[in-house]
Chain A
């Protein structure tokens, strides 16, 4: 793992990242409050703590690149430019949600911004991303596909079958996929040492002839430096590459979890000392780009934007009853399948 010098990212860019990270953190905190108030149903998996990974990998992307994510999926599309109000409305199960209220928290999609979804079966989206990457090189082109996955996915058959095919197809330059393993130490409540015989997860990719490395997933600049190089390389070669980002989630696995018997409070506090937002804030203060007043201004702006997203979600209508039967088939009449 490389420690990065701060010169890679200029102050203006870092300030932009800071604003974005503050915003998505506040967005997730609001989503949890809305869940507690019964406005958001089902499962809700929060990204707080892992922001550096998404920031660092999404920053070097082109507008026509594509991404596949896990069920901890609100932040990726927002960082790509998806309207946060439409994401919040999806959590609220409203007609104005990104998926018309049919997907919910675990299935955020925004194809217009290249986000091909959140998926609820651990590891199940990995082969999809591999096939999508193949499609990006089937006709001449240089787009890339990012596939975010967690440390839990690394032990699934879908991961191994997908990674092997990526390695095979990459030999012909037909699989421009970047696997980003967000190792947040726990698959729900089971730690990496208790679930993976080999705990250096990046090394799993050795078996599939996919170059791999680790990065400090709490440092957005470090992530960005690796991401920029890897994405450039994958774009040029059409071959897959893997990065294990060592990171941490602060919240419970899902918002419905009331107990966390698998970890101690002090562990969370230790990781919070390396919080990506705090780290970037310190650096920007040292560079004179932030002071108390500016921080307060940015936080207030983030809160206003979150409030606007909630107001939009709250005021939006529920899906019409007719929507129950739409979007099942693309090529058949709405009632074709009904008895």
Chain B
């Protein structure tokens, strides 16, 4: 198994899928000549030409909508949003058309389309460029929402997304592009709605996704030296959501903490905590706790930005409190 960066796992998967299926095409801002803001698509314009690697105007409402129309006619567009923040400009297309057109047409059309790009907080990008939108898109039936945290999952989930038949919101993170990990060769697919055990442990279940996986594993390593063994469940996919794996773990550990990057109100952790209570109430030995971003627009100043986000220390504190 070769070791690849998260970026190269994405890029090689795009290449393999474009080689496999001539109806897969890429579209987005500065993905061709410029090579992509985070260089995920570098060199692909030269390899596939401008019909399959389409540089768009700065017009998310237009090119996301056009991607939906392409997908309805049988193409498989993989759209890059420069960051998920800008998907909000095209959110009407995602929510009102991509998510629903199959339903309100009575199943006559489908939208096999992927939208991918960095989600969540960067470094000092301030309020308009620092938000995690999984709770927003996770709200809507008809969408698939995934959040790969490792190079292997980036490959396996992207392949499932491109070969799938539904609109997939593929949430990457800028801080992950340079991270390395072993990536299975060949036709490696990670199915939607399948969580992974990122760490085995007996004392508490910690539920994570995306960028929070690394911070949580760091906290778990630190707690291990104090004799607290965390089981870390990486959701990987938020819609569909693999609550069976979460519940199975919580029934063994009897305690749970749920980590999310974004603010708590009406968020991902709120949903998961609720479902833990619904499924595992009798197994719990302590209240389930959330670790979330603070309830503020993201500030610019580095010290304030750090305060606004979950981190290893906050996660470790919450786990200690819950284990008691």
User: Contact residues of A with B, CB < 8 Å?
Assistant: 66, 68, 97-104, 107, 109-111, 116-117, 119-121, 124-136, 138, 157-158, 160-162, 164-165, 168, 172, 174, 326-332, 336-337, 339
Contact = CB atoms under 8 A, between A and B. Distances in A.
A135 B77 CA distance: 10
B141 A131 contact: no
B75 interface: yes
A127 B142 contact: no
B167 to A, nearest CB: 9
B73 A132 contact: yes
7 contacts: A109-B104, A110-B108, A124-B93, A127-B66, A131-B69, A330-B102, A332-B240
B24 to A, nearest CB: 11
Contacts of A102: 103-106
A109 B109 contact: yes
A50 B51 CA distance: 37
Contacts of B225: none
Interface residues of B, number: 52
Contact of B106 (A120, A138, A327): A327
The 4 closest A-B pairs by CB, nearest first: A127-B65, A161-B62, A131-B69, A131-B66
A201 to B, nearest CB: 19
Interface string B96-120: 1100011111111110100000000
Contacts of A332: 144, 166, 192-193, 240
Contacts of B71: 131
Contact of B103 (A97, A134, A157, A328): A328
A339 B109 CA distance: 25
Contact of A103 (B59, B106, B110): B106
B317 interface: no
Contacts of B37: none
Given A128-B97, A134-B70, 10 more contacts: A99-B108, A111-B108, A117-B105, A132-B69, A132-B72, A135-B75, A136-B73, A138-B25, A160-B62, A331-B110
A133 to B, nearest CB: 8
B236 interface: no
B230 to A, nearest CB: 25
Nearest to A106: B104
A158 B165 CA distance: 25
Interface of B: 23, 25, 50-51, 56-57, 59, 61-75, 77, 92-93, 96-97, 101-110, 112, 141-142, 144, 164-166, 192-193, 239-241, 243, 275, 278
Given A124-B97, A128-B68, A339 B107 contact: no
Contacts of A99: 104-106, 108
Contacts of B165: 329-331
Contact of A128 (B56, B69, B239, B240): B69
Nearest to B73: A135
B33 to A, nearest CB: 14
Contacts of B144: 329, 332
Contacts of A120: 96
A125 B93 CA distance: 9
A109 B105 contact: yes
A158 B65 contact: yes
Contacts of B68: 127-128, 131
A107 B105 contact: yes
B23 to A, nearest CB: 7
B72 A116 contact: yes
B172 to A, nearest CB: 21
Contact of B275 (A129, A134, A158, A339): A339
